[in-house]
Copies of this chain bind each other. A is one copy, B any other.
Amino acid sequence: MRLSRYFLPVLKETPSEAQIVSHRYMLRAGMIKQASAGIYSWLPLGFKVLKNIENIVHEEQIRAGHIPMLMPTLQSADLWRESGRYDDYGAEMLRMKDRHDRDMLYGPTNEELITDIFRSHVGSYKDLPLTLYHVQWKFRDEIRPRFGVMRGREFYMKDGYNFDLTKEDALHAYNRHLVSYLRTYERMGLQAIPMRADGGPIGGDYTHEFLVLAETGESEVFYDSEITDLKFGDRAIDYDSHAECQAVLEEFTSRYARTDETHDEEIFAKVPEARRRQARGIEVGQIFYFGTKYSEPMGATVQDAEGNKVPVHMGSHGIGVSRLLGAIIEASHDDKGIIWPEGVTPFHCGIVNLKSGDAEADAACEALYASITALGLEPLYDDTNERAGGKFATMDLIGLPWRITVGPRGLKNGVVELTSRRTGESEELPPEEAVARIAAIYNKVLPGA
């Protein structure tokens, strides 16, 4: 993308309403604009990151064998009366009446709707196991929305639902979700620690929250420091293997890690003192096993092998997709702006032309742009007439992990400059080597290589 043709309305001033760094930088980098309290428009740069995060979520869910679909944003109140949650949910549920005076609501979650789909279409244990999920906008009418997309009212969330014949199968689905979530967050450059959580209004005997450590987190967390050394990495996993998934669960949840809701001083005291940590965390996901809590009242049953009608064992599993943008920025920034991990960056690298209008500099930039585009990558080329300082400030603010700087002086020596946003380190090298480095960083194969 050429910046002269893009819509990137960066702000010089820090907006006064933003209390935390991710909110400030998302506004300043032209990623979002508030439409009304807790409701945001995603400007082009923000939308690109949102889509990148959504794509990673989809890829890892599909890899785990979970099936994508899509439920609507608006729901009829009837199903919620059936489950008994319509009155329980309180003022956070946005309710409305349609023109025929029927009670509707903007879905804050989808247990009722998915259970209704299941009971309408599935009747036999032979159709199990089944995990369906979607990524859809939700609404929770927070009394005080704040922190930008971290606690918005209209938010984008992945929620998945497993249906299993037995508790054992359902716990395998739980483990499968845990593994797929570990992979998902790591691909986004995040360490998200599974912590024992509280069931809350959805209920649930088994539940873990995934927390990203950050000073601005809303939750107080307590953990054994050994847990931060764990990495799932790119190890192979057979999602069908109960044993393999169970082993990962044990590896990642056997050490002490709890939020203030479930914290137990007595157990925590048994962790060696040098490893006891108290910090703050941002919740970016949660997994639940809740048994037959919805299947029983709503009649979601299957025939088992003996011909008996039994209610299915269910769980629900969520990832806060829009909130993740805030969490990633909270975890990865400096005083100049955002530092995107390569996995989610809106553009793979920036190209800064120090002298737009200079024939040689323009030609070198165009050649770089073409070579990087040919790799299947997307560079952002600042082809505007702004002065160099302004161009660097914008690139630093929007946080592209790599920048190639092109100027007449370097070109005389046959070099351009490749700069890492994270370390600030720069290196002079010939343009074709800069392209090769970018290709290697993103695992792309050079043509002819």
Q: Which A residues contact B (CB, under 8 angstroms)?
A: 5-7, 9, 30, 33, 35-37, 39-44, 46-48, 50, 65, 67-76, 78, 91-92, 94-96, 98-99, 102, 104, 106, 113, 116-117, 120-122, 130, 132, 134, 137, 139, 141, 143, 153-154
A102 / chain B contacts, CB cutoff of 8 Å: 36-37
Task: Give 14 A-B contacts (CB < 8 Å), ordered by A residue.
Answer: A7-B130, A9-B121, A35-B72, A35-B75, A35-B113, A36-B78, A37-B102, A39-B72, A41-B70, A47-B69, A72-B154, A74-B106, A74-B154, A94-B96
Name the residue in A6, A70, A73, A121 with the highest tally of chain B Cβ atoms < 10 Å from its Cβ.
A70
Further pairs besides A5-B65, A36-B74, A74-B139: 18, Cβ < 8 Å: A7-B130, A7-B132, A33-B120, A35-B76, A35-B116, A36-B75, A36-B78, A39-B75, A41-B71, A42-B69, A42-B71, A44-B69, A73-B137, A74-B154, A91-B99, A94-B96, A94-B98, A99-B143
A43 / chain B contacts, CB cutoff of 8 Å: 69, 117
A30 to B121, CA, bound (A): 9
- For the complex formed, measure the closest distance between the CB of A381 and the CB atoms of chain B, giving whole angstroms: 15
Check if B96 sits within 8 Å of A6, measured CB to CB: no
A130 / chain B contacts, CB cutoff of 8 Å: 7
A67 / chain B contacts, CB cutoff of 8 Å: 6-7, 44
- For the complex formed, measure the closest distance between the CB of A113 and the CB atoms of chain B, giving whole angstroms: 6
A131 to B318, CA, bound (A): 34
Check if B9 sits within 8 Å of A99, measured CB to CB: no
Check if B36 sits within 8 Å of A141, measured CB to CB: no
Give the number of times this chain occurs in the complex, counting copies: 2
Once A9-B122, A70-B50, A99-B91 are accepted as A-B contacts, the answer to whether A76 and B44 lie under 8 Å apart by CB is no
Check if A99 sits within 8 Å of B44, measured CB to CB: no
A153 / chain B contacts, CB cutoff of 8 Å: 74, 98
A47 to B33, CA, bound (A): 29
- For the complex formed, measure the closest distance between the CB of A137 and the CB atoms of chain B, giving whole angstroms: 6
A39 / chain B contacts, CB cutoff of 8 Å: 72, 74-76
- Name the residue on B nearest A163 (C-beta): B7
A37 / chain B contacts, CB cutoff of 8 Å: 102
Q: Which of B44, B65, B73, B143 contacts A68 (CB 8 A)?
A: B44
A65 to B143, CA, bound (A): 40
Check if B47 sits within 8 Å of A70, measured CB to CB: yes
A33 to B95, CA, bound (A): 22
Once A98-B141, A99-B91, A137-B73 are accepted as A-B contacts, the answer to whether A132 and B36 lie under 8 Å apart by CB is no
A71 / chain B contacts, CB cutoff of 8 Å: 35, 41-42
A96 to B71, CA, bound (A): 21
Check if B73 sits within 8 Å of A141, measured CB to CB: no
A95 / chain B contacts, CB cutoff of 8 Å: 96
A98 / chain B contacts, CB cutoff of 8 Å: 94, 141, 153
Once A36-B104, A141-B99 are accepted as A-B contacts, the answer to whether A70 and B91 lie under 8 Å apart by CB is no
Q: Which of B73, B113, B117 contacts A154 (CB 8 A)?
A: B73
- Name the residue on B nearest A116 (C-beta): B35
A70 / chain B contacts, CB cutoff of 8 Å: 41-42, 47, 50
Check if A117 sits within 8 Å of B73, measured CB to CB: no
A130 to B7, CA, bound (A): 8
- Name the residue on B nearest A384 (C-beta): B126
Once A67-B6, A117-B33 are accepted as A-B contacts, the answer to whether A41 and B96 lie under 8 Å apart by CB is no
